[in-house]
Amino acid sequence: MTTSATKEATTRYAQRFVGRAAAGHFRDAQRIVLSSLGIGTYLGQPDKKTDEAYTAAVVAAVEGGINVIDSAVNYRFQRSERSIGAALPQLAAKGFLREEIVLCTKGGYLTPDSSMPADPNEYFFREYIQHGIFTAKDLAAGSHCMTPKFLKDQLGRSLKNLGVECVDIYYLHNPETQLSEIAKPEFLERVRKAFEFLESAVGAGEIRYYGMATWNGFRQDARARDAVQLVEMAQIAQEIAGGMHHFRFVQVPFNLGMTEALTLGNQILRERRRTLVEVAGDLDITVVASASLLQGQVARNLPPLVAEAFGLKNDAERALQFARSAPGITTALVGMSRAEHVKANARLVGVASATVDEFGKLFSRGESA
Ligand SMILES: NC(=O)c1ccc[n+]([C@@H]2O[C@H](COP(=O)([O-])OP(=O)(O)OC[C@H]3O[C@@H](n4cnc5c(N)ncnc54)[C@H](OP(=O)(O)O)[C@@H]3O)[C@@H](O)[C@H]2O)c1
């Protein structure tokens, strides 16, 4: 048995915060307990200073009641995964076990190692093409690949960077990028091959669940070229592994400026237009919000009606309260390279999420404003 987040250990993690965490901060999904906020590691320079800052931020997050950590192999050229990898032993020394933490990462984008090489083409040829890991025809947009061979290589790198045996959630990173170059039937075939590999990685104990982290795919009008139907993705997983498949998470941008997952009926389920969160709920797929602060843009200068709906101390808190309280969102990811931001945002651990009524008021006020 490899070590990964477990129901028992994540429940024990939540119990550490009894009396400090508000009811509803910890949420059950897919037989693990996840915090309503997660730490993201996308933004920032690929340098030592940012590495150390992310390591300190991840330690502060887990100490502060946030047990969901999100990365991708290409974030800061693999350095974000390594910053998390450096935080895990520090956390273990403080008594926080690997099994209490929900470790998530992604594969799909080509990335160099640590810094941009002087000749990127030479690097990718030497590191990948020469070893038969991908060929030019496997690539979309010059930078995206999701063949089983490539994913196997990337997952291996992520496990090494993170210093773990198993990733809890492994996402295909922006798979809709492929649709800029290939037609839908070919895309579905590539997804099928990727899912077959991901199910085999679950069997090998290298990942616990898999999913899709998207930017446009689930937010577009259903007729857009790069729109993705969640039902079709789940159908593929079902055909490969039956009802016990492990395609159980999707990540979608969701914030005060990007509300489509909750408000746009772009998904078709049993011939009816539904929202992403509705369809995900129906299919037992957990939705994680990314870019909860719209990359910092909604951390300030929000219209007064947001403060009227949510109260709280400042706009950053209100924006996060919006993302973590939305019906159907289990965890809202916020990028935090600074421990000061972790400490500030972790104040919400002790604040109950907004009720459906409070949340709904914001929408009706917004529409009539
Ligand atoms: N397609 C995808 O798969 C995808 C796309 C986007 C994001 N994501 C995931 O979602 C995570 C979150 O998205 P994101 O990092 O792009 O953007 P974000 O969470 O919307 O914003 C992050 C920015 O907000 C700042 N910040 C955090 N707390 C703050 C506060 N209290 N007051 C003011 N500023 C604050 C951060 O600063 P510091 O860094 O200085 O602390 C950072 O610059 C990512 O890190 C990534 O894990 C996935």
Q: What domains are defined for the chain?
A: 7-368 (3.20.20.100)
Among 45, 288, 341, residue to substitute to test ligand 1 (most atoms within 8 Å of Cβ): 341
Alpha carbon distance 142, 255 (integer Å)? 29
At 168, is the secondary structure helix, strand, or coil? Answer: strand
Tokens representing 179 are 């649709």
Band of the pLDDT at 103, cuts 50, 70, 90? very high
Q: What is the pLDDT of residues 269-321, one digit of tens each?
A: 999 999 999 999 999 999 999 999 999 999 999 999 999 999 999 999 999 99
Q: Of all protein residues, whose CA lies closest to atom 36 belonging to ligand 1?
A: 336
pLDDT of 365 higher than 60: no
Q: How many CB atoms lie within 10 A of CB 29?
A: 18
What is the per-residue DSSP string for 61-117?
HHHTT--EEE--TTGGGGHHHHHHHHHHHHHHHTT--GGGSEEEEEE-B---SSS--
Band of the pLDDT at 160, cuts 50, 70, 90? very high
Find the helix or strand (DSSP H, E) in which 274 lies.
strand 272-274
pLDDT value of residue 150:
98
Section 224-239 average pLDDT: 97
Residue 215 CB less than 6 A away from ligand 1:
yes
Q: Which residues contact 23 (CB under 8 A, 6 or more apart)?
A: 352
Among 295, 297, 322, residue to substitute to test ligand 1 (most atoms within 8 Å of Cβ): 295
At 295, is the secondary structure helix, strand, or coil? Answer: coil
Which numbered atom of ligand 1 lies nearest the CA of 42?
45
Q: How many CB atoms lie within 10 A of CB 120?
A: 11
* Phi, psi angles (nearest 5°) of residue 217: -45, -45
Tokens representing 129 are 């093409």
Q: What is the pLDDT of residues 115-156, one digit of tens each?
A: 999 999 999 999 999 999 999 999 999 999 999 999 999 999
Cα 273-277-281 angle, rounded to 5 deg: 100
